Amino acid sequence: MVFPLDSLQDYQLIFKPEHEMLRKSIREFLEREVAPHALEFDERDEVPRDILRKLGEQGLFGIGIPEEYSGQGGDMVSAVILMEELSRVAPPLAVIRGTNDLFAIPLMLFGTEEQRRKYLPPLARGEAFGAHAMTEPCCGSDVAGIQTRAVKKGERWVINGRKIFISNADIADYIMVFARTAEPPANRRWYGITAFIVEKDTPGLKIGAKFEKRGLRGSHAVEVILDNVEVPDENRVGELNMGFIIAMETYDRTRIGVAAQALGMAQAALEKAFQYSLQRTAFGQYLASFEAIQFALVEMIAELMTARYLTYLAAYLADQGKEEFKYVASLAKFYATEVAERVVSRAIDIHGGVGVIHETGIERFLRDVKITEIYEGANNIQRIVAFRQLLRVLSRKGLVNPEVARAIT
């Protein structure tokens, strides 16, 4: 009954009163300050700095960062609540906020105390932004295949390479750059990658072309060029040659936020479709009078509630320190994003022709949600990751032969 978890208790979700208070305060702020401008972000492909400043003043960039680094504290569940609410109103804000996590989480997990005290407080206060540069023209899902190089010269590292599709890099003050620092053994392709912090004014760092994407407009994906970029060894994050592990541990956590982004988009589309069905008439009846519409709406609700449970379960397991959260996070990422695409598509169908009119504010969610199925680990990759993580957990518990698990993973 409980496989692949251990007990019924592992399936529980416990929300604290402060979680609901957080959700309400975020929603009230976003409805008041952001919702009236959300379509403009898409039209102009720009989020005004004034909006980002207001998010910082509300402490929204500090959720998940400990108070000793000027953050608001809070657990993974709180971060998921934030990401869902941001995406319900303005998905590009969730991307900007989530990309900060891609910089902050490696520091919180693997950084030195000096690095945390230098870089986390400005991020938490919304005074600075971070980016995470991994993807290259050669390599997206194949993280171990990156070709950017870092060579040690005295106490400094010289980095050369090119990164693409890097979110936030055009507004980032700090970029977490992953580069190869050693040739890997044949049986350990992942070995030999190291993470470095590169500050925006570092000579040789160039922000290249902005890619014109059709979704999540307002958050930019750009090219990052590293031409003999020199950084001190103190900017190295974590152990030398172990950057792949740093990245994977980070993605295990941030992909929960991507699932939450999808939830927010689906929630917005469901709400719009439900209200429209109670207002629009056809053949002398409200749309909601037709069984086809009723069936569509309740199926949307069922799928969304299921995806929400899986996403919050991943967050809750992470907060409990359960290793199982890693495969549940991958399950949530591919399931929630695919559910969201179906929910948004059905919401457009319910609206008919109105659904593809930009001013209605629905069609943009379909463009936005498609990207969530691709970035931070394409969904078929997540299916592979989920299975392999499950095997590793079961192997450590003695429920699967370790040799079999190693042969498969």
* Cα 313 to Cα 186: distance, rounded to the nearest angstrom: 37
DSSP-derived 3-state class of residue 138? coil
Mind giving me the DSSP string for 40-90?
HHHHHT---HHHHHHHHHTTTTSBTS-GGGT--B--HHHHHHHHHHHHHH-
Pairing assessment for the beta strands 130-133 and 174-180 based on DSSP bridges: parallel
DSSP-derived 3-state class of residue 157? strand
Mind giving me the DSSP string for 316-356?
HHHHTT-TTHHHHHHHHHHHHHHHHHHHHHHHHHHHGGGGG
CB-based contacts of 12, cutoff 8 Å, min separation 6: 316
Among residues 299, 303, 376, 403, which one is catalytic?
376
* Cα 131 to Cα 174: distance, rounded to the nearest angstrom: 6
Exposed/middle/buried for 87, CB within 10 Å: 0-12, 13-18, 19+? Answer: buried
Of residues 265, 339, 270, the one with CA closest to residue 298: 270
* Cα 286 to Cα 298: distance, rounded to the nearest angstrom: 16
- Is 299 labeled as catalytic in the residue annotation? no
Catalytic residues: 376
